[in-house]
């Protein structure tokens, strides 16, 4: 019999973005949220309303959408000291975000209460209780994050327990114990979590950081001691060393402890790589469960054993998390992933067929060149179209050219692009200006295609990312360009790779138009 379900609370879009080098645009945040919702995450923390325009825009857009599995959650803090809760602007912003759930953080450690907040210990308890009760009175589900709970427990256990009791008694739906500094070990986390559960008489949540390298282990220890929710981020992104990695936690909970978290864990690797691509961070090839190296066998005795009995050197079947076994001497590795992804996009290939082999060969070749298809479903869809006989090119490229033109004294410099195509049985030659070469190419290509494909007017570019692949090559390095586009109803990603950043951008741009307009033309 399986254990009681543990909920997953994702804070990639807030806590994750506090990590060095991690940033998401508003379209990125919405795409990540949609992916998390599809995966089955229970709570998606979108940010801190009012802290910046990006988070405010996210909550405005999220309120217009329907979410299948997740509750979009706004994050904030308890009311300020000596201020009535209904007069605190940041508390009001939590309500204005119109999310079904809110998470408020409060101080637990007397050191922080008196030195940082500079209020009395009694006032801090009132701040916690007032804020939770007020938000509950407004019909919100309230989660309370007890910041620095474990460090506070070491120095002042009675007060630490008093703070979470104040939140619980005020009506908090869940009290979450935060291991904010990430420096404690699993035995201590388990012991203190058990005491907190006993004190409240009900389960708690756990929020850990990875400063000591045991963020996941600490979360698992807390679950064993009575935690019913794990808060963390995809790929462990977060401030300093990072947060508890929800990818690793989800796999361990469901596969090792028999605790259900999501219905379909086979989407785990895809989710990990999708978020990494939108974060513009290279995936960790040695990441547990989902990394490229997680089930790679290089040769010798290991390969011989795995080919006879996989579990001799594999702790799980890689397909359970959407990964695949890679034996470097085999050209069959990765077939399951390609077939699974193709099926999800509406294509049917027979396993081992010439078409599948052709797709695999091209995928491997392109990935060796620097392509990544996890967040570029548009480009991958086009690749499948080509090998399934469903592809008809929108146009034939004759040539394109970009130039940088100085517009004169005191005027803005402009880029100019010319595009020559064969389209619709005719030759098209168009010139357009833009703020940069990609903008100019986009404008010129649109002018060429608009008479034949009027739907192009609905497509707009949402985001543009550049990643240098082989940085050691300096200015001669290869470039990967990832473009996110939308037609106002859905968003899709495309990718281009080249030694020339303009060429890489062109490839991603053309794929974006061909993916959407080609699908329309086929209907």
CA distance 378 to 484: 9
Q: Determine the length of the chain.
A: 523
**C-alpha angle 333-336-337 in degrees, rounded to nearest 5:** 90
Q: Where are the beta strands (DSSP E) in 213-294?
A: 227-232
Q: Helix, strand, or coil here: 432?
A: strand
Give the pLDDT confidence score for residue 285 in this predicted structure. 85
Question: Residue by residue, what is the 3-state secondary structure of 483-508?
Answer: EEEECCCCEEEEEEEECCHHHHHHHH
Q: What is the pLDDT of residues 255-278, one digit of tens each?
A: 999 999 999 999 999 999 999 999
Residue in the block written with tokens 């204005």 = 96
C-alpha torsion 18→21→26→27, nearest 10: -140
CA distance 18 to 36: 19
Q: Helix, strand, or coil here: 255?
A: helix
Q: pLDDT digit of tens for each residue in the chain (523 aa)?
A: 345 799 999 999 999 999 999 999 999 999 999 999 999 999 999 999 978 889 999 999 999 999 999 999 999 999 998 899 999 999 999 999 999 999 999 999 998 898 888 899 999 999 999 999 999 999 999 999 999 999 999 999 999 999 999 999 999 999 999 999 999 999 999 999 999 999 999 999 999 999 999 999 999 999 999 999 999 999 999 999 999 999 999 999 999 999 999 999 999 999 999 999 999 898 898 999 999 888 776 555 554 555 555 666 678 889 899 987 765 533 444 566 677 678 878 888 887 788 888 888 888 888 888 888 877 889 989 999 999 888 889 899 999 998 876 666 655 677 899 999 999 889 999 999 988 888 999 999 999 999 999 999 999 988 888 988 876 666 567 899 999 998 888 889 999 999 999 999 999 999 999 999 987 655 4
Distances (CA, A) of 454 to 146, 433, 457: 55, 21, 6
Please list the helix, strand and coil fractions of the chain in percent, rounded to the nearest 5, in that order: 45, 20, 35
Longest dimension (CA), the chain: 81
CA distance 324 to 288: 13
Give the pLDDT confidence score for residue 411 in this predicted structure. 57
Strand order, beta sheet including 460-468: 460-468, 479-486, 491-498
Sorted by where each begins, the domain ranges of the chain are: 7-263
CA distance 519 to 385: 10
CA distance 438 to 416: 10
Give the pLDDT confidence score for residue 306 in this predicted structure. 55
Please name the residues in contact with 409: beta carbons below 8 A apart, sequence gap of 6 or more.
Answer: none
Q: CATH number of 7-263: 3.40.462.10, 3.90.420.10, 1.10.260.40, 3.20.20.70?
A: 3.20.20.70
Give the pLDDT confidence score for residue 1 in this predicted structure. 32
Please name the residues in contact with 330: beta carbons below 8 A apart, sequence gap of 6 or more.
Answer: none
Distances (CA, A) of 109 to 42, 76, 116, 159, 170: 29, 18, 10, 8, 19
Give the pLDDT confidence score for residue 523 in this predicted structure. 47
Give the pLDDT confidence score for residue 310 in this predicted structure. 64
92 phi and psi, to 5 degrees?
Answer: -65, -35
Burial of residue 57 (CB within 10 Å: 0-12, 13-18, 19+) is middle
Give the pLDDT confidence score for residue 374 in this predicted structure. 74
Tokens of 399: 């040539």
User: 7: part of which helix (H) or strand (E)?
Assistant: strand 7-10
């Amino acid at each position: 019999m399986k254990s009681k379900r543990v909920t997953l609370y994702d804070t990639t879009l807030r806590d994750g973005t506090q990590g060095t080098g991690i940033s998401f645009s508003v379209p990125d945040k919405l795409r990540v949220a949609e992916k998390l919702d599809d995966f089955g995450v229970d709570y998606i923390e979108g940010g801190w309303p009012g802290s910046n325009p990006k988070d405010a825009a996210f909550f405005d857009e999220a309120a217009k959408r329907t979410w299948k599995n997740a509750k979009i959650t706004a994050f904030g803090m308890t009311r300020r000291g000596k201020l009535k809760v209904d007069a605190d602007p940041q508390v009001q912003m939590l309500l204005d975000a119109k999310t079904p759930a809110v998470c408020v953080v409060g101080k637990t450690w007397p050191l922080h209460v008196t030195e940082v907040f500079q209020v009395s210990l009694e006032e801090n308890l009132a701040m916690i209780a007032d804020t939770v009760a007020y938000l509950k009175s407004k019909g919100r589900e309230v989660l309370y994050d007890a910041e620095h709970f474990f460090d506070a427990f070491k120095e002042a256990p009675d007060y630490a327990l008093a703070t979470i009791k104040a939140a619980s008694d005020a009506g908090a739906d869940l009290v979450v114990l935060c291991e904010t500094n990430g420096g404690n070990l699993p035995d201590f986390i388990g012991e203190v979590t058990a005491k907190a559960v006993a004190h409240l008489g009900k389960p708690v949540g756990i929020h850990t950081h990875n400063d000591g390298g045991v963020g996941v282990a600490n979360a698992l220890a807390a679950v064993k001691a009575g935690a019913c929710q794990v808060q963390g981020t995809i790929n462990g992104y977060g401030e300093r060393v990072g947060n508890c990695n929800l990818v690793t936690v989800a796999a361990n909970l469901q596969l090792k402890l028999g605790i259900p978290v999501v219905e379909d864990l086979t989407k785990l690797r895809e989710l990990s790589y999708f978020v990494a691509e939108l974060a513009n961070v290279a995936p960790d090839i040695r990441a547990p469960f989902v990394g490229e190296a997680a089930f790679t066998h290089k040769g010798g005795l290991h390969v011989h054993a795995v080919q006879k009995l996989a579990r001799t050197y594999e702790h799980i079947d890689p397909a359970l998390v959407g990964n695949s076994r890679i034996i470097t001497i085999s050209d069959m590795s990765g077939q399951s992933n390609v077939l699974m992804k193709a099926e999800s996009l509406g294509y049917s290939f027979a396993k081992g067929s010439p078409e599948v082999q052709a797709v695999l060969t091209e995928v491997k070749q392109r990935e060796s060149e620097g392509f990544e298809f996890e967040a570029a479903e548009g480009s991958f869809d086009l690749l499948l179209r080509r090998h399934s006989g469903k592809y008809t090119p929108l146009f034939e490229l004759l040539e394109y050219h970009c130039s940088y033109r100085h517009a004169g004294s005191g005027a803005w410099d402009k880029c100019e692009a010319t595009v020559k195509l064969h389209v619709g049985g005719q030759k098209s030659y168009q010139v357009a200006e833009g703020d940069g070469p990609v903008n100019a190419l986009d404008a010129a290509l649109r002018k060429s295609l608009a008479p034949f494909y009027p739907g192009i007017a609905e497509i707009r570019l949402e985001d543009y990312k550049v990643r240098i692949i082989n940085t050691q090559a300096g200015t001669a390095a290869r470039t990967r360009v990832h473009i996110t586009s939308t037609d106002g109803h859905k968003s899709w990603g495309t990718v281009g790779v080249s030694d020339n950043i303009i060429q890489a951008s062109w490839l991603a741009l053309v794929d974006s138009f061909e993916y959407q307009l080609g699908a329309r033309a086929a209907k």
